[in-house]
Amino acid sequence: MIPHVREVTLASPAKINLFLRILGRRADGFHELETLIVKISLADTVRVMVSDLPGDISITCDNPDIPTGADNLAHRAATLFSQAINRQINCRIYLKKNIPSGAGLGGGSSNAATVLLALNKLYGEPLNLTQLCYLGAQIGSDVPVFVHGWPAALCTGRGELISPANTQAPLPSHCLLIKPAFPVPTPWAYKAYAEMAQGDSQRVTALARVRQFAWGELRNDLEPPVFAKYLWLPATVQWLESLEGISAAAMSGSGSTVFALLSPSADTQSLLNACYKRFSPSTMISLCQIGAAPTTSNN
């Protein structure tokens, strides 16, 4: 018998946090958050292939630094999906990475959500979005926002409670990403925040930079503790904000990526040239559209 093989290829978008407020420590050890997450055009490509023959879950990635075992979030997503539908699945996952890790851009969470969506499609949509988000929340706080197709979302709780964002004015259309060669581990960033806060989140909130725009505020409460250790980051933010055509700059998530919001009249090529001149080749520089929708290809 010839096995029935099905596959789907999906874009797995990155995100930036336009604001990230930390409201305090929860009883479960997580931090209570309020954050505005927007998807951007930078994306990985995730190809998922399934077969009716007995088998297991495997991952292949074009970046040798990315783990491909059970500790990969995409692998965990496939495992949880298999358990949820009570069926052993023969699944091959191929990751083409463009989103760097340890960057605050949600690459691993996005890959996990994309695998959930792909498997759900390939198996005839046995789960609804609520069920997929429930699985995603077990993997990571950022995963549910990638399950939904909203270009911008307001996330609360530990980040897993999401709703479409209704901003007072249109969001900026483009941003410039600057990712240094070093990562910032997310657990360390929140631990450093907790140590700086000493039980009172207002101690750190008072240090956070806040800039008001028609669409809302730009802020990140993780900047004070992260900037205190990684001095390259505040220096880069300050330099970006000195450039003509940049409305403001901030760190995304727990870092280490900083992003600059472009004004409508920005000369993008001049900004890119200035970045290429200032930063070493090991620094990722990427001009991205904000709110870009991922594309799908089926075979």
Where does the chain hold its CATH 3.30.70.890 domain(s)? 174-289
Distance CA(277)–CA(258), nearest Å, equals: 17
Give the per-residue pLDDT at 105: 97
Q: Which residues make beta-bridge pairs with 284? A: 179
273 token code pair: 């040239």
Is residue 142 a contact partner of residue 106, using CB atoms and an 8 Å limit?
Answer: yes
Q: Is residue 52 flagged as an active site residue?
A: no
Distance CA(132)–CA(85), nearest Å, equals: 11
Give the per-residue pLDDT at 272: 97
Q: What is the pTM of this model?
A: 0.92
Q: Which of 15, 44, 179, 221 is catalytic?
A: 15
Mean pLDDT, 10 residues at a time, the chain of 299 residues = 80 96 77 91 97 91 94 97 95 97 95 98 96 95 93 87 86 96 93 84 77 94 95 98 97 96 96 97 96 56
Q: Is residue 229 flagged as an active site residue?
A: no
Per residue, the 3-state secondary structure of the chain, as one string, reads CCCCEEEEEEEEEEEEEEEEEEEEECCCCCEEEEEEEEEEEEEEEEEEEEECCCCCEEEEECCCCCCCCCCCHHHHHHHHHHHHCCCCCEEEEEEECCCCCCCCCCHHHHHHHHHHHHHHHHCCCCCCHHHHHHHHHHHCCCHHHHHCCCCEEEEEECCCEEEECCCCCCCCCEEEEEECCCCCCHHHHHHHHHHHHCCCCHHHHCCCCCEEECCEEEEECCHHHHHHHCCHHHHHHHHHHCCCCEEEEEECCCCCCEEEEECCCCCHHHHHHHHHHHCCCCCEEEEEEECCCCCEEEC
Q: Which of 39, 44, 142, 179 is catalytic?
A: 142
Q: What tens digit of pLDDT does each residue of 59-71 get?
A: 999 999 999 999 9
Q: What is the CATH number of domain 174-289?
A: 3.30.70.890
Where does the chain hold its CATH 3.30.230.10 domain(s)? 5-166
Give the per-residue pLDDT at 294: 52
Q: What is the CATH number of domain 5-166?
A: 3.30.230.10
